[in-house]
Amino acid sequence: MRKDRYTILGSILLGCLFIIMVSCEREPTENVEFAEFPPNGDVFIDAFSAGLDFFPFVDAGADPMAFSVVTDEVFSGETAMRFDVPAFGNGFVGATFNTTAARNLTGFDALTFYARASQAASIDAIGFGISGETNNRFQVTLNGLGVSTRWEKYVIPIPDASKLIGETGLFWLAEGASFEGDEGGYSLFFDEVRFERLGTVAQPMPAIFDGQEVTEQTFTGSNLTVTGLTQTFNLASGDNLTVTAAPAYFDFFSSDLGVAIVSELGEISVVGEGTAQISAQLAGVAATGSLELVSGGGLLPAPTPTLPQANVSSIFSDAYTNATESNFTPGFGGSTTETTMTSANGDAVLSYANNNFTGILFENTVDGSDRTFLHVDVFVQDPGAQFEIQIRDVGANQMLETDVNTGLPSGDDRDFRFTVNGLTVGQWTSFDIPLNGDIANQKNNLGALILVGGPNFLLDNIYFFTE
Residues in contact with 89: Cβ distance below 8 Å, sequence separation at least 6, in sequence order: 177, 180, 405, 406
Q: Enter the pTM of the model.
A: 0.72
- What is the per-residue pLDDT for 256? 97
**Least confident span in 172-176, 277-281, 334-338:** 334-338
Beta bridge partners of 312: 465
How high does pLDDT run on average in the chain? 88
> Can you tell me the mean pLDDT for 359-366?
96
**295 with 219: CB under 8 angstroms?**
yes
pLDDT digits (tens, 9 = 90+) for 210-259: 999 988 878 888 878 899 999 999 999 999 999 999 999 999 999 999 99
CB 177 within 8 A of CB 88: yes
What mean pLDDT do residues 336-340 have?
87
CA distance 291 to 213: 6
Q: Do domains 36-196 and 209-298 have the same CATH topology?
A: no
Answer whether residue 23 shows pLDDT above 60.
Answer: no
- Distance separating alpha carbons of residues 87 and 176, to the nearest angstrom: 8
Domain 209-298 maps to which CATH number in 2.60.40.1080, 3.40.50.1970, 3.40.50.150, 3.40.50.720? 2.60.40.1080
Q: List Cβ<8 Å contacts ≥24 apart for 404-409.
A: 404/2, 404/61, 404/91, 405/2, 405/61, 405/88, 405/89, 405/90, 405/91, 406/2, 406/89, 407/1, 407/2, 409/438
pLDDT digits (tens, 9 = 90+) for 94-146: 999 999 989 999 999 999 999 999 999 999 999 999 988 788 999 999 999 99
Mean pLDDT of 154-180: 92
How far apart are the C-alpha atoms of 415 and 409, rounded to whole Å? 7
> Using CA atoms in the order 209, 210, 211, 213, what is the torsion angle rounded to 10 degrees?
-40
pLDDT at 18: 30
Domain residue spans in the chain?
Answer: 36-196, 209-298, 309-465
Tell me which CATH homologous superfamily contains domain 36-196.
Galactose-binding domain-like (2.60.120.260)
For 436-458, b where at least 16 C-beta lie within 10 A, e where not — what string?
eebbeebbebbbbbbbbbbbbbb
Q: What is the pLDDT of residue 24?
A: 33
- Phi first, then psi, for residue 87 (nearest 5°) are -70, 165
Q: How many Å apart are CA 14 and CA 334, to the nearest integer?
A: 5
Pairing of strands 213-220, 290-298: parallel
Query: Which amino acid, one-letter code, is at 64?
Result: P
Structure-model confidence comparison of residues 325 and 22, the more confident one: 325
Q: What are phi and psi of 391, to 5 degrees?
A: -90, 115
Mean pLDDT of all residues in 350-379: 95
CATH number among 2.60.120.430, 3.40.1370.10, 3.50.50.60, 3.40.430.10, domain 309-465:
2.60.120.430
* Confidence at 4, pLDDT banded by 50, 70, 90: very low
Is residue 26's pLDDT more than 70?
no
Q: What angle do CA 270, 18, 260 make, to 5 degrees?
A: 10
At 330, give phi and psi (nearest 5°).
-70, -15
Q: Is 178 left (phi over 0), alpha (psi -120 to 50) or beta?
A: alpha
Does the pLDDT at position 25 exceed 70?
Answer: no
Q: Which residues contact 447 (CB under 8 A, 6 or more apart)?
A: 361, 362, 365, 366, 392, 393, 394, 398, 400
The answer on pLDDT for 5 being more than 60 is: no
Phi, psi of 246 (to 5 degrees): -65, 155
CB atoms within 10 A of CB 365: 18
Between CA 285 and CA 196 the distance in angstroms is 22
Residues 40-60: what's their mean pLDDT? 89
Q: Which residues of 232-265 are buried (b: 16+ CB within 10 A; e: fewer)?
A: bbbbeeeeebebbbbbbbbbbebeeeebbbbeeb
Q: Which residues contact 28 (CB under 8 A, 6 or more apart)?
A: none
Average pLDDT over residues 41-54: 90
